[in-house]
Amino acid sequence: MITLLFFAHLQEAVGEERVFLPHFPKTVKELKEEVKQRYHISLKQVMVAVNEEYARDEQTLQPGDIVAFIPPVSGG
Amino acid sequence: MNERLFVITDKPISVEEVIQKVMRPEAGAVATFIGTVREWTKGKRTLFLQYEAYVSMAEKMLAQIGAEIREKWPEAKVAIIHRIGRLDIGEAAVVIAISSPHRNDAYEANRYAIERIKQIVPIWKKEHWEDGTEWVGNQLETKSYPAGKPEEEDLR
């Protein structure tokens, strides 16, 4: 199982802050594809963090990972 | 003394407390930046703002900015506090205090800190305008992430 976290407008679009995925895709890229299709959202300009570290598309996922979908940030 | 230097809080920020975190005998300068909630943006009126963060990661990213600053300006000491939740006009959203032996380092490192916050720290601002609401995207408006992620350079 992996945990997905959504923030800001993505959280509103998905309707959940946190989603538990019983299976897990092999890579960040595959997960993004699945999330796009499942929730009908665009992930353009959205960054992904795995266990609180920014991750690239080719990063592989492990059971227990926490994957955050991070829209463009606007702190400050 | 509270030595937590990189903090996300849902309470009002005391500027004096942030400054105290970086005060020390070696300091000849303290540069403080206060980011405040603006009422008017290009003629559009903000009623209040709401900030949200991925708190655990945001604190890690603030600490990373601190590490980057120590590398570039080894004599500087940094404290950064960012507030989340509902903020009214004029309230401080972020306070950055940097002390160093000489003023130039303090000014430069402080500028660097706010620019990096706007690139890598997972905090989002929701504008509550007079006529609706909107999540603000990348405020820099200079940077997009065509690959869907920040480039190596953004992450350093």
| Count of positions (residues) in chain A | 76
Please indicate whether, in this complex, the C-beta atoms of A54 and B82 are within 8 angstroms of each other.
no
Residue B111 lies in a domain: yes
Interface test with A, best of B82, B135, B145, B151 (most A CBs within 10 A): B135
SS3 call for B145: coil
Residues 6+ apart with CB under 8 A from B152: none
Euclidean distance between CA atoms B107 and B69, whole angstroms: 12
Longest dimension (CA), chain B: 51
Check the CA dihedral B136-B138-B142-B143 and report its sign. negative
Cβ–Cβ gap B138/A74 under 8 Å? yes
Nearest to A72 among B60, B93, B137 (CB): B137
- The one-letter amino acid code at B148 reads G
How far is C-alpha B76 from the chain's CA centre? 17
> What is the pLDDT, as a whole number, of residue B137?
78
CB contact under 8 Å between A73 and B120, yes or no, is: yes
Go through B92-114 and write b for each residue having 16 or more CB atoms within 10 A of its CB, e for each that does not. Answer: bbbbbbbbbeeeebbebbbebbb
pLDDT of residue B3: 79
- pLDDT at residue B2 in the model: 54
CATH number of the domain residue B52 falls in: 3.90.1170.40
**Do the domain assignments include residue B134?**
yes
ipTM for the assembly: 0.95
- Specify the number of domains making up chain B: 1
Q: Which residue has the tokens 């006529």?
A: B131
The count of CB pairs under 8 A between chains A and B is: 92
Look up the domain containing B103 and give its range. 6-140
- C-alpha distances (whole Å) from A53 to each of A46, B101, B105, B149, B155 are 14, 33, 29, 12, 9
With a CB cutoff of 8 Å and minimum separation 6, the contacts of B144 are A45, B138
Each residue's pLDDT tens digit in chain B (156 positions)?
457 999 999 999 999 999 999 999 999 999 999 999 999 999 999 999 999 999 999 999 999 999 999 999 999 999 999 999 999 999 999 999 999 999 999 999 999 999 999 999 999 999 999 999 999 876 554 444 434 445 545 554
- Cβ neighbors of B121 (< 8 A, separation 6 or more) are A73, A75, B53, B58, B61, B62, B65, B82
Sign of CA dihedral B73, A70, A67, B83: positive
Look up residue A40 and give its two tokens: 């009908």
Residues of A with CB under 8 A from a CB of B: 5, 7-9, 12, 32, 43-49, 52, 54-57, 68, 70-76
Tokens of A38: 């499942």
Residue B59 lies in a domain: yes
What residue segments make up the domains of chain A, in order of their start?
A: 2-70
Say if B154 falls within a structural domain. Answer: no
The CATH class for the domain spanning A2-70 reads alpha beta
Q: Best interface-test mutation with A: which of B52, B54, B61 has the largest number of A CBs within 10 A?
A: B54
Reported pTM: 0.90
Cα distance between residue B130 and residue B19, in whole Å: 35
Do B28 and B79 form a contact (C-beta atoms < 8 A)? no
Residues of B with CB under 8 A from a CB of A: 35, 51-54, 56-58, 60, 82, 93-94, 114, 117-126, 135-139, 144-145, 147-150, 155
Q: Residue B156: inside a domain, yes or no? A: no
Spatial contact of B114 and B94, defined as CB atoms under 8 Å apart? yes
**In chain A, which stretches have pLDDT less than 70?**
none
What integer pLDDT is reported at residue B139 of this predicted model? 58
